[in-house]
């Protein structure tokens, strides 16, 4: 039996270098209508120093652990509030997320988007494969991929799950799209 959603927002959650951004871009191409992609990287890029300034409220620790200041979390709430207003105004969004606090992060998004239809997609990738991908990228702190590969999924409920370990991001995007009811998609 197929679930029918009235879709406004697709939330992709996975660790660093799991393939979320590539899946988001592929979904933009195959889903009907115009979908805007935003996510944690967009938010961080907008912070002072692109997230590398002490004013950004982010601390990247050895081993890939990331901590946030109280001020950063308040600004994050503002970010999600703005995105939820964009969705309520009629835009279709794909959120590319890394829920470092697992189910607590999911609840923060859920409560902000309380009146918006969300589809939760878990993007999984074997930690060794994610680490290999991470080593090819200059914009990643070493250790993030391994640390996040499982922790971002802790306690998170998903409507759809994909694994990019041995599958292309395009194939994963097609799998996601195939599980969405045509009645739920914009025309």
Cα separation of 89 and 103, whole Å?
A: 27
Q: Is 170 annotated as catalytic?
A: no
Cα separation of 174 and 73, whole Å?
A: 34
- 37 three-state secondary structure: strand
- The token duo for 158 is 């998903």
Catalytic residue among 41, 126, 163, 170: 41
Instruction: Spell out the alpha helix ranges (H) of the chain.
Output: 20-30, 40-46, 70-88, 103-112, 127-135, 144-151, 169-178
Cβ-contact 17, 125 below 8 angstroms: yes
Q: What is the signed CA dihedral for 106, 177, 9, 80, rounded to 10 degrees?
A: 50
Placement of tokens 């739920």 in the chain: 184
Which residues are annotated as catalytic? 41
């Amino acid at each position: 039996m197929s679930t029918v959603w009235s879709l406004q927002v697709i939330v992709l959650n996975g660790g660093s270098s799991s393939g979320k951004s590539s899946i988001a871009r592929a979904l933009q191409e195959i889903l009907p209508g115009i979908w805007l992609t935003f996510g944690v990287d967009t938010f961080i890029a907008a912070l002072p120093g692109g997230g590398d300034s002490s004013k950004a409220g982010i601390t990247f620790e050895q081993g890939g652990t990331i901590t946030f200041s109280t001020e950063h979390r308040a600004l994050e709430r503002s970010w999600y509030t703005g995105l939820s207003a964009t969705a309520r105004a009629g835009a279709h969004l794909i959120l590319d997320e890394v829920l470092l606090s697992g189910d607590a992060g999911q609840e923060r998004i859920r409560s902000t988007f309380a009146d918006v239809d969300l589809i939760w997609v878990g993007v999984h990738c074997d930690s060794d494969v994610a680490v290999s991908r991470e080593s090819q990228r200059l914009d990643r702190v070493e250790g993030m991929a391994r640390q996040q590969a499982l922790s971002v999924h802790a306690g998170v409920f998903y409507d759809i799950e994909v694994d990019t370990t041995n599958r292309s991001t395009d194939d994963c995007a097609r799998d996601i799209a195939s599980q969405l009811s045509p009645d739920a998609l914009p025309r």
